[in-house]
Structure 1
Amino acid sequence: MCAPRWDSGAVFNALIGGHGGYAITPSNRFVWGGYYEPGSLIWHSRWVTSAGMYESREALAMPGDSHRAVLLRRILAKECDAPVVIRLDPCADYGTSALRAIRRDGDVWEARAGELWLRWTGAPDAQLTGPRSSRCFGLELTVPVGAHHDLVLEVSDQRLPDSPPDADAAWRATETAWQDGVPLLERTIAPTDTRHTYAVLRGLTSASGGMVAAATTSLPERAEAGRNYDYRYVWIRDQSYAGQAAAAAGAWPLVDDAVRFTAARLLEHGERLAPAYTTTGGRVPDQRDLDLPGYPGGSDLIGNWVNKQFQLDAFG
């Protein structure tokens, strides 16, 4: 997970072989699955265990903040008690900046990692483990059947607000944002699939209107094929195609975003229009290695050489 923006340094880096992660797993033997709530990117991790089934409802809080990512996780004990093991190991700058300045105030933990401020609510009994150079939080808890337990993690490149978000209010705001932000699209061939596609595109769109090509870096198109790229940037071509598709479906907010971001870049750069930009309209950084093992069958690249290319398709 990169925070607070798509092209920021990663805080959780295990996917590409680095340090840092945030895991909730059942204490019992389990089989994992999951699903998205319709018309949203609210995800449910579902565990079928030897004792019964329980879930973790998860989302990035909305409306979003360009300086602060808020990760909501709600453990739901629907059918049985839900014993879980929780491990929080933030490590900023692609795993090079461990936690420091750690302190607890009631049920709230605060810390720094690199240039980031972090705050974790809902785990007052968490224990710090590991050497000072790689501290992480560990916690075991059991949610009684019929109850739920909230965890709220904030990651910001600015000082955090005085008070952490209220979990119930944050969930209500997130639900409302998705309900209001994703149209029904009933005149399409497959409304359910089309709504989910729209939700994905909405989720990839920043406050500037720029839509990143993907939320990932270094994941291989095919194992050991050498095609591993950082796609956490806005390609003018892709944004234009997405805007045209949204227009065909009558999904006007995404059209407005595409026009707003593309027009701003065209007015700023004219015939020097670049093929891709950061979500803030800046230059895509040079491609480089992170000196990590990388995703299996992939690599550990960030940045993209598109910043040195001229692509005619950016002009249509």
Structure 2
Amino acid sequence: MRIAGFAPIEDYAALADGRVVALIAKDGSVDWLSIPTMDGTSVFGALLDPERGGRFALRPVDRFEAERRYLPGSNVLETTFETASGRLRVTDALTLQDGGLLPWIELARRIECLRGSVRMRWSCEPRFDFGRVESRIARVRGAAVAHGGARDRLALLSWGAGEPELTTTAIAGECELSRGDSALLACICVDNEPIPLPTRPEVEGRVDGTVETWRRWVEGIEYDGPWREAVERSALALKSLTYAPSGAMAAAATTSLPETIGGDRNYDYRFAWIRDSSFSIDALGFLGLREQVHESLSWLLSATESTHPRMEPLYTLGGEVPAAEAELPLAGYRGTGPVRQGNSASGQLQLGTYGDLLETVRLYAYHGNAIDELTATRIVEICDLLARTWHNEDSGFWELPDRRHYTISKLSDWGAFDRALALARDGHLRIDDATRARWQRAQEEIREFVETRCWSERKRAYTFHEDTDKLDAAVLLNARIGYVSPDDERMLSTIDAVRDELGAGGPLLYRFTDMRGREGAFVACSFWLVTALVRAGRPDEARRQMDAMLELANDVGLYAEEIDSDTHAFLGNFPQALSHLALITAAVTYNRVSESGKFPASAAEEVSR
């Protein structure tokens, strides 16, 4: 049910074509689409402003019930509308051609009546450039064409869906379909180009071909363990967030979905984080998706080259440093503003990103690949920089405005040297004895700092930052880093302390101390807990945690960034890469450990087996 025109975040499903992502609500309205790329400007933005944002609505005229699913092994959505008079199926796809990208963006909506008769109403209301540009709509060769400013163009093609009516702001129509009837709508978007007007058979063929393209990709997933369906759906979600021209993975498809209604924690996640790219190597490498792993690493190395040896926390999908953050003239989801374009975390010092990069490179090597000479040289230079700077305060994993000695940053720094030294032992890096000694000395100093300044005897836990008793769920990532053995006494008590203090009810966890009431529970933290429990030798607890989390996915298996601990409503940007990355890693770790009976110390050791 919509509130003041806003659908619940969990009511959305995502379509993708490797460049853009569209979000469709359960009532059939496309409320989000940015063009010409995921990090572009919205043409449908009702997600953030039902009045000014624009949409592409399609629904029965009469009262209805809706059920939906993704066609198996695909990111093509099927919604079944049931009314008193009949049943109707809508198949939605961002189409592909011959297994690759079309030269234009094509959103196809195929309508088929399965029983009785159903009257449908549709309306395409483009609002270019986040609603800042008025549309000019005209008929051209049987199509309705909307122009937005000098560059953006949209064409709406209709077959069997009623005669389109044009107004100054919308293209709309109605049709009544009886059993066996079908109709088709196609929305074509281009950027400063001529507008193609394909035929119905061409669009129909691409819808079917798109399903097959996704299924061929899914066939490459090498996983037969528990929770296979959730793992597959998460892999498809991650693929939908991957920008095919560069291999970068966006953190999410949206901007400014709030972490709490009425708050101000609204951020643009349509960028690629070094951290998320590293985690994607873990998750997708576990699934045997070698091409995707190579894409992620290649993008990461290319993007970071321009700022080497320093690294930005995030880059654009094209691999550039993001422009300054700006606020947009949209109301915000359920009135929660501001709506932002850009992300102020760019430019922060986040020392943990160096560990993420080194983890990525080591995992790539463990997949049987070679490290080129230029990359090896860059790694040495990065580690030398980190040896000089690890002792600085930073903004930490959570990108906070207050710089501190965050424990997770120190663990990640320790991990950076650990991975670099391992690469050297395996012959991927050439370093002299002085360099090796310098890195080992930095490791020892980090360990002394963590054990003396970032450990709470009162809580019996590793802490949020130095000289505090506050806790941080991110320290569960020790299961990935391997700073201490996963069944080390201090880690075991940390796991229990985190569950006790940060627990948000059921399987949910807050990010760190004092976040209750300020935001929702952070989905990835709950899956990190699964991985930590598995590696700590507590598989029964891990399975219960995993099962409980899977119950909280939406009806098509997707997650946002956060979940309200009381209502289980979704909060934050959607769909969220980090949530799905963490799910895959948790499931695969559980499966591999269950099969072997061994508890590897880190993700890298797990991959190497």
TM-score (norm 2): 0.49
Q: Distance in 2 between matches of 1:66 and 1:313?
A: 38
Query: Which residue does the alignment assign to 1:160?
Result: 194
The 5 A counterparts of 1:118-267 are: 118-122=154-158, 125-129=163-167, 132=168, 135-160=169-194, 162-164=196-198, 166-182=202-218, 183-207=220-244, 208-267=246-305
CA contact (8 A) 2:83 2:118 kept: no
Deviation at 1:297, TM superposition (A): 5.5
Q: Distance in 1 between matches of 2:188 and 2:36?
A: 9
Deviation at 1:203, TM superposition (A): 0.7
Query: Which residue does the alignment assign to 1:6?
Result: 38
SS at match of 1:14: coil
The 5 A counterparts of 1:46-125 are: 46-62=80-96, 63=99, 65=101, 68-100=104-136, 102-106=138-142, 108-114=143-149, 115-122=151-158, 125=163
Q: Distance in 2 between matches of 1:38 and 1:176?
A: 10
CA-based RMSD = 2.0
**Residues 169 and 67 (structure 1 numbering): CA distance in 2 closer, same or farther, change over 3 Å?**
closer
CA contact (8 A) 1:38 1:192 kept: no
Instruction: Give the structure with the higher percent helix.
Output: 2
Query: Which residue does the alignment assign to 1:290?
Result: 328
Q: Distance in 2 between matches of 1:98 and 1:189?
A: 50
> Which digits, 9 at most, give the CA deviation of each residue in 1:273-302, with x for residues without a partner?
211111111222322221221101632222
Moved more, 163-172 or 43-52: 163-172
Q: Distance in 2 between matches of 1:214 and 1:15?
A: 14
Which amino acid in structure 1 is aligned with residue 36 of structure 2? P
> Which digits, 9 at most, give the CA deviation of each residue in 1:140-175, with x for residues without a partner?
012231232111111111313544261122113312
Q: Distance in 1 between matches of 2:188 and 2:316?
A: 23
Deviation at 1:251, TM superposition (A): 2.0
Structure 1 portions without partners, runs of 5+: none
SS at match of 1:153: strand
Q: Distance in 2 between matches of 1:66 and 1:314?
A: 35
Deviation at 1:58, TM superposition (A): 0.5
Which protein has greater RCO, CA pairs closer than 8 Å, 6+ apart?
A: 1
CA contact (8 A) 1:5 1:67 kept: no
**Residues 253 and 127 (structure 1 numbering): CA distance in 2 closer, same or farther, change over 3 Å?**
same
Which amino acid in structure 2 is aligned with residue 72 of structure 1? A
The 5 A counterparts of 1:33-48 are: 33-48=67-82
SS at match of 1:11: strand
CA contact (8 A) 1:58 1:71 kept: yes
Moved more, 186-195 or 87-96: 186-195
Q: Distance in 1 between matches of 2:325 and 2:156?
A: 33
Query: Which residue does the alignment assign to 1:304?
Result: 343
SS at match of 1:10: strand
User: Which is greater in Rg?
Assistant: 2
Which amino acid in structure 2 is aligned with residue 13 of structure 1? G
CA contact (8 A) 2:107 2:187 kept: yes
CA contact (8 A) 1:38 1:196 kept: no
Structure 2 portions without partners, runs of 5+: 1-32, 356-609
TM-score (norm 1): 0.91
CA contact (8 A) 2:79 2:89 kept: yes
Q: Distance in 1 between matches of 2:103 and 2:340?
A: 24
Matched, 1:16 2:54: no
Q: Distance in 2 between matches of 1:226 and 1:111?
A: 34
Q: Percent identity?
A: 29
CA contact (8 A) 2:105 2:190 kept: yes
CA contact (8 A) 1:71 1:154 kept: yes
CA contact (8 A) 1:220 1:228 kept: yes
CA contact (8 A) 2:109 2:186 kept: yes
CA contact (8 A) 1:284 1:306 kept: no
Moved more, 136-145 or 210-219: 136-145
Q: Distance in 2 between matches of 1:285 and 1:66?
A: 28
Q: Distance in 2 between matches of 1:110 and 1:202?
A: 31
Instruction: Give the structure with the higher percent strand.
Output: 1
Q: Distance in 1 between matches of 2:192 and 2:103?
A: 7
> Which digits, 9 at most, give the CA deviation of each residue in 1:182-223, with x for residues without a partner?
234442322211111111111110121000000011101222
CA contact (8 A) 1:184 1:191 kept: no
Which amino acid in structure 2 is aligned with residue 206 of structure 1? Y
